[in-house]
């Protein structure tokens, strides 16, 4: 994909993703509560959307702010979020996050990536997602779908998600930063799969370099 073609690609993606279910973090983001977005994003790591949605709903019935979350014992959090991947580790991280938010930030979620990265269990993907969805500030959330598809297109040539974020910050028009993840995640989940993507159904095939694709449908 040539740099100038990204505008046409984004326009196509905006139309195409309407036929698929919105990722759970996007649904949570409609409440405009950075804390809920932060928690659901932590839960979503390496976990399928359906499991994340159900776990988030159970936990939010018990706690919707740092103070309430900190009051829960670890076992209660584990029970609420099971079976998300690494649920015991994530339960400990959530307790630590709640404690830090109360002690260091007066109970509020910080709105900068650098501050968010100081919280336990928060990496660049999570930090960018909280900043973009929770505060509508510029950021580029790069998960495995964004990393894979951006490289498959030939729009970037990188080896890690962090490297992809760095390159996208230089190449991707800023007006697309916030929505880029929202567009590529459902596309990656439903059509541009890691193995044997549906290239015959893809409206972006004419732009795609198909880097790394050995078999397709």
Is 158 found in the same domain as 126?
Answer: no
Radius of gyration of the chain (CA): 18
Residue ending a domain, among 120, 135, 150, is 135
User: What's the Cα-to-Cα distance from 89 to each of 19, 68, 92, 129, rounded to whole Å?
Assistant: 35, 19, 5, 20
- CB neighbours of 37 closer than 8 A, spacing ≥ 6? 25, 28, 29, 129, 130, 133, 134
Q: How many CA atoms lie within 13 A of 206 on its CB side?
A: 5
User: What's the Cα-to-Cα distance from 213 to each of 23, 156, 217, rounded to whole Å?
Assistant: 25, 15, 11
Q: Which residue is listed with tokens 């490297």? A: 163
* Residue 133 · residue 29 · CB < 8 Å: yes
pTM for this predicted structure: 0.89
The CATH number linked to 56 is: 1.10.340.30
Residue 26, domain member (yes or no): no
Residue 208, domain member (yes or no): no
Render each residue's pLDDT in the chain as its tens digit; 217 residues: 888 999 999 999 999 999 998 887 888 878 889 999 999 999 999 899 899 999 999 999 999 999 999 999 999 999 999 999 999 999 999 999 999 999 999 999 999 999 999 999 999 999 999 999 999 999 999 999 999 999 999 999 999 999 999 999 999 999 999 999 999 999 999 999 999 999 999 999 999 999 999 999 9
Domain around 192 = 3-21+140-201
Is 179 found in the same domain as 98?
Answer: no
Is 76 found in the same domain as 44?
Answer: yes
Is 177 found in the same domain as 91?
Answer: no
Report d(CA 178, CA 121) in Å as an integer: 22
Residue 149, burial from CB neighbour count under 10 angstroms (0-12, 13-18, 19+):
buried
* Predicted local distance difference test score (pLDDT) of residue 52: 94
Residue ending a domain, among 114, 135, 156, is 135
Provide the domain count of the chain. 2
The CATH number linked to 7 is: 1.10.1670.10
């Amino acid at each position: 994909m040539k740099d100038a073609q990204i505008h046409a690609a984004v326009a196509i993606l905006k139309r195409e993703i309407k036929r698929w279910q919105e990722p759970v973090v996007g649904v949570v983001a409609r409440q405009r509560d950075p804390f809920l977005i932060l928690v659901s994003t932590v839960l979503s790591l390496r976990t399928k959307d359906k499991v994340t949605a159900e776990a988030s709903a159970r936990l939010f019935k018990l706690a919707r702010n740092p103070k309430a979350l900190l009051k829960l014992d670890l076992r209660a959090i584990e029970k609420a979020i099971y079976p998300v991947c690494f649920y015991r580790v994530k339960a400990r991280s959530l307790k630590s996050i709640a404690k830090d938010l109360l002690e260091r930030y007066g109970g509020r979620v910080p709105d900068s990536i650098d501050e968010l990265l100081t919280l336990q269990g928060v990496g660049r993907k999570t930090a960018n997602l909280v900043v973009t969805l929770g505060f509508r500030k510029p950021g580029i959330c790069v998960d495995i779908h964004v990393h894979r598809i951006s490289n498959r297109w030939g729009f970037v040539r990188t080896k890690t998600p962090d490297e992809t974020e760095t390159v996208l910050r230089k190449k991707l028009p800023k007006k697309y930063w916030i929505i880029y993840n929202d567009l590529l995640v459902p596309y990656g989940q439903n059509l541009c799969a890691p193995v044997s993507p549906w290239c015959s159904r893809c409206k972006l095939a004419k732009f795609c370099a198909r880097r790394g694709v050995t078999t397709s449908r």
